[in-house]
Amino acid sequence: MASSSQIPFAPLGDTVTFTAATTPPTAVQAPVKVTETSVGQFRIVNVGSVTVFLGTGATAAEAQANADSGTPAKSIPLVPGAVEILRFPPDSYFSGDTASDTAVIYITPGQGL
């Protein structure tokens, strides 16, 4: 296991935010500000009161299409209050769908747990 996967999470870029809704919003990027890495870890926080189905992709359109609460096979469910650190390519896009209401999502690129 890489030593960088066992260190505390350290931000390596700006936090971005979007509001997940019953119609997924335009996807956002959270660029990793380090040129010597081919993958990034992202701290993802759901501060809403509903589950968000997080869609990711290489393009904004792909991320938005993958955020689908009706057929969640390509999405990642984030329960209310979830704080997750997940690994994606550093240039990934993110969007989110909910079955009802809205939820604010914060994404911070970085490295570590």
- In this prediction, residues 98-103 reach a mean pLDDT of 96
Q: Read off the pLDDT of residues 48-78 as tens digits, 9 standing for 90 and up.
A: 999 999 999 999 999 999 999 999 999 999 9
- What CATH architecture is 3-111? Sandwich (2.60)
For the chain, how far is it from start to end, CA to CA, in angstroms?
Answer: 13
- Report whether 103 contacts 96 (CB < 8 A): yes
Q: Whole-angstrom Cα distance, residue 48 to residue 102?
A: 7
At 6 the pLDDT is 78
- In this prediction, residues 37-44 reach a mean pLDDT of 81
Query: Does pTM surpass 0.75?
Result: yes
Q: Whole-angstrom Cα distance, residue 96 to residue 66?
A: 9
